[in-house]
Amino acid sequence: MKNIDDLVAIDIHTHAGDPCGIHDDDGYAEFQAAMKAYFGGDHDHQPTIAETADYYRDRKIGAIIFTVDSEAETGFNRHPNEMVMEEVAKHSDILMPFASIDPHKGKKGVREARKMIEEYGVKGFKFHPTSQGFYPNDKQWYPLYEEIAAAKCISLFHTGQTGVGAGMPGGMGLKLKYSNPMYIDDVAADFPDMRIILAHPSFPWQEEALSVATHKPNVYIDLSGWSPKYFPPILVRYANSLLKHKVLFGSDWPVITPDRWLSDFEKLDMKEEVVPLILKENARKLLGI
């Protein structure tokens, strides 16, 4: 990102949509229809990375952008990290990419993480325990965390309920249990030098997430995936006080736009000095930019 001082905010949680067009026959269309029903709005068109960059550039908002590699659990063909990195590089003035690697890829995934770090300068990795079907604290994934931690990169974990599979028969077979933030507490304890972001208000485990972030210095919370008008009061209270330096603005673009999120955020009873911390300064410090 360039001209950081001129940005009004940094969105720590955005999705790359469908930059690669590789989902013809793997059930992804039905999944997207269910996402549209769950979140509302227009999901018939998934914005390209270029369109996303234009949207954020017009609003002077920087954005962390990524896809989710969940091939093992969902069967959806992933967007290759290399393709995402190359497209995002065209818009490096406003976008910064995180990579995503399905932990089930094992040693192959560890090698890919190393490549992302060494060849593309990736600063973070996105995990989605529910759609990837794994307990974050299972030590079989620790070699991947070790690679990430050694490079001082960030791990961003989805927590709580998800719109992925919501409303589909059996929730598309996905298990919510994997995204309890208490499993990530183990990871934070075992990798104290790896910075971790708990994504979203962690319903129905909001208090667990606040507990982990309060107890572990290396754990942060992003506010993506929900309109602020639905934030639990305890989350607002902690963001205004004990965790004011560890809470981050995130939208979950494109399912929730920054325009909607920021409009609803303005209506919260937030302390004046806390607002710039959440919107930009906490992320800027965490990302080292």
Over the chain (289 residues), what is each successive 10-residue block's mean pLDDT? 93 79 55 60 73 97 96 87 95 97 98 98 97 97 98 98 78 91 98 98 97 98 96 98 98 95 97 98 97
DSSP for 6-45 reads G-SEEEEEEE--SSS---TTSSHHHHHHHHHHHH-S--SS
Residue-level pLDDT at 44 = 57
Say what the pLDDT of residue 21 is. Answer: 46
pTM given for the model? 0.92
pLDDT of res. 2: 86
User: How many structural domains are present in the chain?
Assistant: 1
Only one residue has tokens 């995503």, namely: 100
Q: How does 232-255 read in b/e, with b if 16+ C-beta sit within 10 Å?
A: eeebbebbbeebbebbbbbbbbbb
Percent of the chain residues past pLDDT 90, beyond the cut: 82
Say what the pLDDT of residue 278 is. 98
What pLDDT was estimated at residue 39?
57
Task: Provide the residue range defining the domain that includes 15.
Answer: 4-287
Q: What is the pLDDT of residue 19?
A: 44
In CATH, what number is assigned to the domain containing residue 117? Answer: 3.20.20.140
Question: Cα separation of 227 and 235, whole Å?
Answer: 13
